[in-house]
Amino acid sequence: MLNLKAILVSVTLTIATVGAFAQTATPRVDQREANQQGRIAQGAASGQLTPKETSRLEKEQARIDKMEAKDKADAKITKHERARLNRMQNRASKDIHAQKHDAEVAR
């Protein structure tokens, strides 16, 4: 009986550890997302981004965050999912650059 309890505790701890790891399995994605949020905030503060541009870029970041959460829901980010997140972040980065360097400025 004691052996069965030890096994159950061990399995429970293993599952909890895997679940916790799945939540932090994307440090590059998270860091890149934070960098892009900073670029958007800096552009809004400097006037390089209009409120409309800022809103659109924030929504794009929210879509990436939502997709990441969905991918993490099954406790494993596959190579395909990671590549898709990377492509989404590449597109968002290009969009941020384009909007910050266009002729529109906040008034």
pLDDT of residue 24: 47
> Which residues, 6+ apart, have CB-to-CB distance to 32 below 8 Å?
89
Q: Is residue 30 part of a domain?
A: yes
Counted residue by residue, the chain has a size of 107
pLDDT confidence tier of residue 3, bands split at 50, 70 and 90:
low
Res 49: pLDDT = 93
| Res 10 pLDDT > 90 | no
Distance CA 75, CA 71 (A): 8
Q: Which domain holds residue 34?
A: 2-100
Model pLDDT for residues 43-85, shown as the tens digit of each residue: 999 999 999 999 999 999 999 999 999 999 988 899 999 999 9
Structural domain contains residue 8: yes
Indicate yes or no: pTM above 0.85.
Answer: no
Is residue 71 in a domain? yes
> How high is the mean pLDDT of the chain?
83
How many domains are there within the chain? 1
Domain assignment present for 32: yes
